[in-house]
């Protein structure tokens, strides 16, 4: 029985080694539906679309851009009140980042697309005004009655009068947009052309990221939407400035601390040395000096003397007396060497 038990043990060990050394069976490849189910997140977009969309740069990485749009809302509210002689209420609906091609394909038509250029940045932007806003501004400027909604004929093209009035509105918005950017970086936005077909308003590659700001404009019972799109390539020259967390950081200074420091500097006491003359002596002569020793200066009575502060030459003057005190009258400023500046 002992021999049989030993054979059983050896046989079991051999089988275990064989199983351990056998190659693992390859897992079957995942089907497309299974991959999608793994990548699928909340919402209707597919997992692959979520991966592609995650490459977009979020506008929160440019904190100062939101401040610029807030300034635009305030400035534009005043400008439109003067432009239309009507009560105007402007609100910033949202600021989103998206791909330029996705936005271009989603523009609701009919609409007017204004292409403008940032002169200092040497790049373009896009302004989209929907038909409701166009008809509203035309109705207001041409004296339409309040309380009556403007007549909209969506099937017909825009007339020359409507285009002309829309261009005046665009010029006004671009001027205010330049003013909104002034605290960050002076820039001039120049209107270039007006399009009604999105294909002719392509100012960037379709895959490039852009920032979109949506404005809602209400003029009592009339109004519409306006959208400003700035590609990230356009904002690249001022990206470092837009990354600032607050407006003061752009200037790198604190006016309160600056004033306090200037006041403290004006109250600082400094010591001025009046140098009659300078002589060079051997170290042996210097060590041999004792009370009563005399050092002969190579200067004459009435010769000009130098006034120094910390070894820096400042003035040249004359030694004299004033009210029983030795005084120095400053005659001229001394130019400072470049090494001392």
Give the tokens for residue 52.
């592609």
Distance CA 137, CA 151 (A): 12
- 249 in Cβ contact with 184 (< 8 Å): no
Give me the pLDDT at residue 24, please: 47
Q: What is the pLDDT of residue 119?
A: 92
Regarding the domain delimited by 59-251, which CATH topology (the fold level of the hierarchy) does it fall under? Answer: Chemotaxis protein chec (3.40.1550)
Greater confidence, 122 or 40? 122
Confidence of residue 184 (pLDDT cuts 50, 70, 90): confident
Q: pLDDT digit string (tens) for 204-223?
A: 888 888 999 999 999 878 88
Q: For 62-89, what is the mean pLDDT?
A: 90
pLDDT at site 149: 56
Q: Which residues lie closer than 8 Å to 39 by C-beta, 6 or more apart?
A: 46, 47, 48, 50, 51
Which is nearest to 161 in space by CA: 139, 179, 146?
A: 139
Q: Higher pLDDT residue, 66 or 220?
A: 66
According to the model, what pLDDT value does residue 117 have?
Answer: 94
Domain boundaries, the chain: 59-251, 270-279+302-334
Indicate the angle between helix axes 63-84 and 160-181, nearest 10 degrees: 130
* pLDDT score of 145: 66
Q: What is the DSSP track for 103-129?
A: HHHT--SSEEEEEEEETTTTEEEEEEE
Retrieve residue 295's tokens.
Answer: 């050092």
- How does strand 189-195 pair with strand 209-219? unpaired
Write the CA distances from 94 to 18, 66, 204, 215, integer angstroms: 66, 9, 22, 8
Of 63-77, 138-152, 271-285, 299-313, the range with the lowest mean pLDDT is: 138-152
pLDDT at residue number 331: 87
- Tell me which of 8-17, 237-246, 249-258 is least confident: 8-17
Helix (H) or strand (E) segment spanning residue 64: helix 63-84
């Amino acid at each position: 029985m002992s021999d049989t038990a030993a054979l059983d043990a050896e046989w079991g060990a051999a089988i275990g080694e064989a199983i351990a050394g056998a190659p693992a069976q390859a897992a079957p490849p995942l089907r497309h539906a299974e991959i999608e189910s793994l990548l699928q997140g909340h919402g209707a977009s597919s997992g692959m679309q979520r991966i592609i969309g995650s490459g977009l740069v979020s506008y929160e990485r440019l904190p100062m851009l939101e401040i610029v749009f807030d300034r635009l809302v305030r400035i534009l509210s005043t400008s439109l009140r003067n432009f239309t002689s009507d009560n105007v209420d402007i609100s910033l609906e949202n600021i989103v980042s998206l791909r330029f091609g996705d936005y271009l394909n989603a523009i609701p038509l009919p609409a007017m697309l204004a292409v403008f250029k940032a002169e200092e940045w040497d790049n373009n932007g896009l302004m989209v005004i929907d038909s409701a806003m166009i008809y509203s501004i035309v109705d207001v400027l041409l004296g339409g009655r309040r309380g009556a909604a403007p007549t909209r004929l969506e099937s017909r093209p825009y007339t020359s009068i409507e285009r002309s009035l829309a261009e005046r509105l665009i010029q006004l918005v671009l001027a205010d947009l330049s003013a909104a950017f002034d605290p960050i970086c002076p820039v001039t936005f120049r209107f270039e052309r007006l399009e009604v077909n999105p294909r002719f308003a392509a100012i960037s590659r379709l895959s490039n990221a852009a920032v979109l700001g949506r404005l809602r404009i209400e003029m009592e019972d009339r109004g519409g939407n306006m959208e400003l799109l700035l590609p990230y390539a356009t904002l690249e020259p001022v990206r470092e400035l837009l990354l600032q967390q607050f407006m003061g950081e752009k200037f790198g200074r604190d006016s309160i601390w600056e004033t306090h420091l200037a006041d403290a500097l004006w109250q600082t006491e400094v010591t001025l040395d009046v140098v009659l003359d300078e002589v060079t002596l051997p170290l042996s002569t210097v060590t041999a000096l004792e009370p009563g020793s005399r050092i002969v200066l190579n200067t004459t009575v009435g010769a000009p003397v130098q006034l120094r502060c910390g070894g820096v030459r400042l003035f040249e003057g004359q030694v004299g007396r004033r009210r029983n005190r030795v005084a120095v009258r400053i005659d001229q400023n001394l130019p400072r060497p470049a090494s001392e500046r």
